[in-house]
Chain A
Amino acid sequence: MPRTCRLHPFTVLALAAAATATTVAAGRWWLSVAVLLACLLLAAWARRARRLAGLAAAILAPAFGSQLLIHSMADTAGGHVLAAAGPLRITAEGLATAGALGLRTGVLVVAGLLCTLLVDRHDLVAAVDLSPAPPQLGYLLAATLLLLPALEQRQRAIGQAQLLRGATPGGGPRGWFRRVRLRSVPLVLGALQDAADRSAHLAARGFPAAGPHTRLREVPDSAAQRRVRRIALACIVLGPVAVLAPTWAGAA
């Protein structure tokens, strides 16, 4: 059973943003590795380490492959050539650049995914609803997160229904197009019809409601968390400035 974090969702997001911004600004490999390890430890505490590793690998593997190709295989600036074949040159400087970019992307992806795994989605919706953001934003977030599994389920049901009625898409590009058409046309038309029905019901109830309203779900929050959020928000701006200022002063 995964553990959930009893913090306000904005506290988790603000802390992750502050850590990511400061780490990216510092650009030190050991700091990036430390942040990645801390994220993995937190995920292990929440019993989601395997899920975090799988999700992060699915995003980072192609991105890092691209960075390796661009910076280490086609480097035109580096002087320490490790191998060369025609226009392709592998240099030590190119490999170092690809590694640094990979770590930068890794910190962003792992910290962001950890937030998604730690934050309860219902708490996030409630927090957005209680914040000064327009009331429409909370509805859109909640409706999308609820519609996603419903539409996925409906897409599978449509696929099974098409198979039962003997509609076989075949192979090649024509088969691919037929398969997309058989699935997407009923899915989109049905979803738009549902949206039109919902719109009349919401309009009849005066959506979006103006003024304060009671929410049955309480979001965990405290004065200490509010202070932490304010400090983290300041760190998002001041952290990178503090880290980068000596570099700029040295360059000037």
Chain B
Amino acid sequence: MSPNLILPETATGHPLRRRMLAAAGALLLAGTYTALVLTQPTGLVDGLGQAVALATFAAYLVAALLLLAAVLPELPVSTLTLIPVALALNIVLGQFVGSVMVPLYLDSLGTVLVGFLAGRRAGAATGVLGTLIWSLFNPTVLPFAAGAALVGFLAGTAARFGALRRPYLAPVAGLAAGVLVGVLSAPVAAFVFGGTSGVGTGALVAAFRSMGDSLLSAVTKQALISDPGDKAIVFLVAALLIYALPRRLSAGFAFVRRHNVLGSRGSK
């Protein structure tokens, strides 16, 4: 909302150190993904399979934590107070939507809201933190922290380049984000858990495998069917919620003002 009212701004840590942490996280993530896609280990439960599962789990988690450590100290107070609300909304709305028997998740709504209002760094931090806190209730989500960070990062990037200036652009950006997130998360589902977390998605993977696909290829195709639709709806719902915000609230975020996120809607 506003910078510190009575004290000068003091960002903790060094900018160079934070940039190096972010670069290390991104490199670790990209390196692990590339190695998995190039080698595509076949054994899942032999000695190599156990090592690949542990290494994938650790690399994705450490990369997400490095990105969080790089971003967290530089977030303004207005974003820090927004993030817990977003995390709680992810869980509360995710549970509510899950309880009405509709095959959607909407459990990244809060992350996307933060990305739209506070930018890609805040969105990425919200994604990682949301996964860490959600893992207290479901430990299997822990290695998907990097995918959640990418959702928030892409939401912020989309908002910065005008995805909220027209209502139809938000779901298009969500579709593109869903493709990238699905592709990034597929190796975790394939090599750590050997499949998916639900029977419906598992049946899709089984169908692709019976047609001769490798496990990674089948899980990636399933993710490309499920994730883009879900993210398109999440981006659209988040955009509609931001349109419904009073202007004094949305304009309170420096990111929204600096990049004219809402276009002509923000000036009404």
Binding site for B on A (CB under 8 A): 21, 24-27, 55, 59, 62-63, 65-71, 73-74, 76, 87-89, 96-98, 100-101, 104-105, 108-109, 111-113, 116, 134-137, 139-141, 143-145, 147-148, 150-152, 155, 173, 176, 179-180, 183-185, 187-189, 191-196, 198-200, 202-204, 206-208, 210, 240, 244, 247-248, 251
Contacts and interface: CB of A to CB of B under 8 A. Distances in A.
Contact of A70 (B46, B129, B136, B215): B215
A74 B209 contact: yes
Contact of B88 (A55, A87, A148): A148
B69 A67 contact: no
B195 interface: yes
A134 B73 contact: yes
Interface string B203-226: 101110111100100100000000
B197 interface: yes
B252 A196 contact: yes
Given A134-B12, A210-B12, A76 B45 contact: no
Contacts of B93: 184, 187
B186 interface: no
Given A67-B193, A176-B102, A251-B47, A87 B211 contact: yes
The main secondary structure of chain B at its interface with chain A is helix
B58 to A, nearest CB: 8
Interface residues on B, range: 35 or more
B51 A59 contact: no
A151 B138 contact: no
A134 B72 contact: yes
B167 to A, nearest CB: 15
B5 A136 contact: no
B35 interface: no
A240 B45 contact: no
Contacts of B109: 184
Contacts, number: 234
B50 A24 contact: yes
A116 B97 CA distance: 24
B96 interface: yes
Interface of B: 1-7, 10, 12-13, 44-51, 53-54, 69, 72-73, 75, 77-78, 80-85, 87-89, 91-93, 96-97, 100, 102, 109, 113, 129, 133, 135-140, 142, 193-199, 201-203, 205-207, 209-212, 215, 218, 237, 241, 244-245, 249, 252
B77 A199 contact: yes
B81 A67 contact: no
The main secondary structure of chain A at its interface with chain B is helix
A104 B92 contact: no
Contacts of B198: 62-63, 66
A124 to B, nearest CB: 9
Contact of A101 (B13, B44, B73, B75): B44
Given A134-B12, A204-B5, A199 B78 contact: yes
Contacts of B85: 147, 151, 191-192, 194-195
B89 A100 contact: no
Instruction: Name the residue among B51, B78, B84, B140 with the largest chain A CB count within 10 angstroms.
Output: B84
A210 B10 contact: yes
Contact of B89 (A176, A187, A207): A187
B84 A147 contact: yes
- 5 tightest A-B CB contacts, nearest first: A66-B202, A112-B139, A247-B47, A143-B84, A101-B194
29 contacts: A24-B50, A26-B50, A27-B49, A62-B197, A69-B205, A70-B195, A71-B194, A87-B211, A98-B194, A104-B53, A104-B193, A113-B139, A136-B73, A140-B83, A144-B87, A150-B88, A151-B85, A155-B96, A184-B93, A184-B237, A188-B241, A192-B82, A199-B1, A199-B81, A200-B1, A202-B77, A202-B81, A206-B4, A248-B51
A108 B77 contact: no
A203 B140 contact: no
Contact of A116 (B81, B136, B202, B207): B136
Contact of B92 (A137, A151, A208, A251): A151
Contact of B202 (A70, A183, A184): A70
